[in-house]
A and B are shown apart, each in its own frame.
Chain A
Amino acid sequence: MRRSHLLAFGLLGSAAALVAPAGPATAQETLKIGVPTALTGTYAGLGAEAVRAIEFAVAEANAKGGVAGHKVEIKTLDTEAKPEVARKQAEKLALEGYKILTGTIASGEGLAMGPLLARWDAIYVSTINKSDKLTGDSCVPRMFRTNHQDAQDAAVVRPWLGSRKEGKWAILAADIAWGRDSGKSFVEAAKVNKKDIVAEIYSPFGSNDYAPFIQQIKSSGAEGLWVALAGRDAINFATQAKEFGLLDKVFVAGVSFVTDNNVKTLGATSKGIWGIINYSSTLDTPANKAFVEAWKTKYNGDEPASFEGETYLGMQVIFQAVEKAKSVKPVDVAKAMRGGTFDTVLGKVTLRAEDHQMVLPNYFGYIGERGGKLRPIITETIPANVATTPPTGTCKMGEL
Chain B
Amino acid sequence: MTGIVTTDPIVSRAPPPRHALALASAIGAIACGALLAATIQSSLMMTLVTQAIITAILATGVGFLIRQNGVVSFGHAAFYGIACYTIALALKLGVMRVEFAILLALALPTALAFLLGLVIIRIPGVAFSMLTLAVGQAFYEFAMKARHVTGGEDGFSVSLPPAILGIPTAWFQNPHSMFVVSWSVLVLIIFGLALIAASPFGRLTVAIRENEERARFIGYRTTLPRVLVLTLSAFVTAIAGVLFTLYNTFVSPDVLHWTLSGSALIMAIIGGPRLIWGPALGAIIFFFTKDIAGDVTEHWQGIIGVILIVVMLVIPSGLGGTLAALWQRRFGHG
Contact = CB atoms under 8 A, between A and B. Distances in A.
Interface stretch (B152-160, B203-211, B305-313): B152-160
Contacts of A40: 298
Contacts of A115: 157, 159, 249-250
A119 B173 contact: yes
A84 B173 contact: no
B133 interface: no
Contacts of B48: 92
Nearest to A87: B250
A398 to B, nearest CB: 14
Interface stretch (A22-30, A172-180, A216-224, A225-233): A172-180
B44 interface: yes
Contacts of A88: 51
Nearest to A205: B153
A83 interface: yes
A112 interface: yes
Interface string A39-53: 110000000000000
Given A83-B254, A92-B48, 8 more contacts: A83-B252, A84-B155, A88-B51, A92-B47, A108-B153, A111-B156, A176-B152, A205-B153
B255 interface: yes
Contact of B154 (A91, A92, A111, A119): A111
B18 interface: no
A84 B47 contact: no
B113 to A, nearest CB: 24
B152 A175 contact: yes
A114 B249 CA distance: 12
Interface string B125-168: 00000000000000000001001000111111101000000000
A83 B154 contact: yes
B43 interface: yes
A349 to B, nearest CB: 28
B44 A95 contact: yes
A267 interface: no
Contacts of B155: 83-84, 108, 112
A111 B157 contact: yes
Contacts of B252: 82-84, 108, 112
22 contacts: A78-B294, A78-B298, A83-B153, A83-B252, A83-B254, A84-B255, A92-B48, A95-B42, A96-B44, A108-B153, A108-B154, A108-B252, A111-B156, A112-B157, A112-B252, A115-B249, A116-B250, A138-B157, A176-B154, A180-B147, A204-B153, A205-B153
A107 interface: yes
Contacts of A84: 155, 250, 252, 254-255
Contacts of B42: 95
Contacts of A95: 42-44, 47
Contact of B47 (A91, A106, A112): A91
Contact of B153 (A77, A78, A96, A176): A176
Interface in B227-264: 248-250, 252, 254-255
Contact of A107 (B47, B154, B249, B298): B154
Contacts of B156: 111
Interface residues of B, number: 26
Interface string B168-200: 000001000000000000000000000000000
A208 B326 CA distance: 49
Interface in A85-100: 85, 87-88, 91-92, 95-96
Q: DSSP majority for the A interface?
A: helix
Nearest to A85: B254
Which 8 residue pairs across A and B have the least CB separation, nearest first?
A108-B154, A95-B44, A84-B254, A177-B154, A115-B157, A176-B153, A84-B252, A83-B252
Interface of B: 42-44, 47-48, 51, 144, 147, 151-157, 159, 173, 248-250, 252, 254-255, 294-295, 298
Contacts of A114: 157
Contact of B250 (A39, A78, A83, A107): A83
Nearest to B43: A95
A88 B252 CA distance: 13
Band of interface residues on A? 20 to 34
Interface of A: 39-40, 77-78, 82-85, 87-88, 91-92, 95-96, 106-108, 111-112, 114-116, 119, 138, 175-177, 180, 204-205
Contacts of A111: 154, 156-157
Nearest to A97: B44
A205 B47 CA distance: 29
A329 to B, nearest CB: 17
A112 B173 CA distance: 15
A394 to B, nearest CB: 16
Contacts of A108: 153-155, 252
B259 to A, nearest CB: 11
Interface core residue of A39, A114, A204 (most chain B CB under 10 Å): A204
A47 to B, nearest CB: 10
B168 to A, nearest CB: 14
Contacts of A205: 153
A88 to B, nearest CB: 7
A205 B153 CA distance: 8
A91 B156 CA distance: 17
A175 B153 CA distance: 7
Interface core residue of B42, B147, B252 (most chain A CB under 10 Å): B252
A207 to B, nearest CB: 12
Contact of B298 (A39, A82, A91, A119): A39
Contacts of B154: 83, 106-108, 111-112, 176-177
Contacts of B47: 91-92, 95
Contacts of A107: 154
A204 B51 CA distance: 29
B8 to A, nearest CB: 39
Contacts of A180: 147, 152
Nearest to B254: A84
A180 B147 CA distance: 10
Nearest to B255: A84
A16 B41 CA distance: 24
B147 A87 contact: no
A138 B250 CA distance: 13
A366 B48 CA distance: 47
A82 B254 contact: yes
Contacts of A83: 153-155, 250, 252, 254
Interface core residue of A39, A82, A205 (most chain B CB under 10 Å): A82
Contacts of A177: 151, 154
B243 to A, nearest CB: 15
Interface core residue of B48, B147, B152, B153 (most chain A CB under 10 Å): B153
A138 B156 CA distance: 10
